[in-house]
Structure 1
Amino acid sequence: MSLLLVEDDRELSEPLTALLAQQGYQVEWVNDGQTAYTLAMQNNYELLILDWMLPGLDGLTLCQRLRQQGLATPVLFLTARDSLTDRVQGLDAGADDYLVKPFAFAELAARVRALLRRPLAGTTPTRLQVGTLVLEPEQRLAYRGARQIVLSEKETQLLMLLMQHPGQILSHAQLLAGLWPGESQADRNLLAAQVRLLRRKLECPPEPPLIQTLYGRGYGLIPS
Structure 2
Amino acid sequence: MARILLVDDEVELADSLAQQLRREGYTVDVAYTGGRAWELLQKSPALPYDLLVLDWMLPELSGLSLCQRVRQVDCTTPILFLTARDTLDDRVEGLDAGADDYLVKPFELRELLARVRALLRRTTGTGEGIPRLQIGDLELDRENQVAYRQGRMIHLSQKEFRLLEYFMTHPGQLLTHDQIYEQVWAGEDPPSSNVLAAQVRLLRRRLRLPGAAELIHAVYGKGYRFGPVAENP
TM-score, normalization: structure 2?
A: 0.49
CA distance in 2, matches of 1:107, 1:21: 16
Match of 1:204?
none
Q: Are the structure 2 counterparts of residues 33 and 71 from structure 1 closer, same or farther at C-alpha, using a change threshold of 3 Å?
A: farther
Query: Structure 1 residue 87 and structure 2 residue 91: aligned?
Result: yes
CA deviation after TM superposition for structure 1 residue 108, in Å: 0.1
Q: 1:42-70: CA deviations, max 9, x gaps?
A: 25100000000000100001101111123
Structure 1 window deviating more from structure 2 (60-69 vs 110-119): it is 110-119
Q: Match of 2:56, SS?
A: coil
Residues 34-183 of structure 1 aligned to structure 2 (within 5 Å): 34-43=35-44, 44-118=48-122
Q: Which runs of 4+ in 1 moved over 6 A?
A: none
Residues 172-211 of structure 1 aligned to structure 2 (within 5 Å): none
Q: Match of 1:54, SS?
A: coil
Q: How much identity, in percent, do the aligned residues show?
A: 58
CA deviation after TM superposition for structure 1 residue 10, in Å: 1.1
Q: 1:1-47: CA deviations, max 9, x gaps?
A: 11000011012111101100000001000101111112123251000
CA distance in 1, matches of 2:111, 2:103: 9
Query: Structure 1 residue 21 and structure 2 residue 25: aligned?
Result: no
**Is the CA contact 1:6–1:36 (under 8 Å) kept in the aligned structure 2?**
yes
Q: Match of 1:19, SS?
A: helix
Q: Match of 2:59, SS?
A: coil
Query: Structure 1 residue 4 and structure 2 residue 2: aligned?
Result: no
Q: Match of 2:74, SS?
A: coil
Which AA in structure 2 matches 1:19? Q
CA distance in 1, matches of 2:112, 2:68: 22
CA distance in 2, matches of 1:46, 1:62: 16
CA distance in 2, matches of 1:65, 1:118: 21
Which AA in structure 2 matches 1:91? L
Equivalences, count? 121
**Is the CA contact 1:77–1:90 (under 8 Å) kept in the aligned structure 2?**
yes
Q: Are the structure 2 counterparts of residues 92 and 28 from structure 1 closer, same or farther at C-alpha, using a change threshold of 3 Å?
A: same
CA distance in 2, matches of 1:55, 1:42: 20
CA distance in 1, matches of 2:80, 2:33: 16
**Is the CA contact 1:33–1:58 (under 8 Å) kept in the aligned structure 2?**
yes
Q: Which runs of 5+ in 2 are unaligned?
A: 126-233
**Is the CA contact 1:41–1:71 (under 8 Å) kept in the aligned structure 2?**
no
Q: Match of 1:52, SS?
A: coil
**Is the CA contact 1:50–1:59 (under 8 Å) kept in the aligned structure 2?**
yes
Match of 1:126?
none
CA distance in 2, matches of 1:76, 1:118: 13
CA deviation after TM superposition for structure 1 residue 119, in Å: 7.8
CA distance in 2, matches of 1:50, 1:119: 18
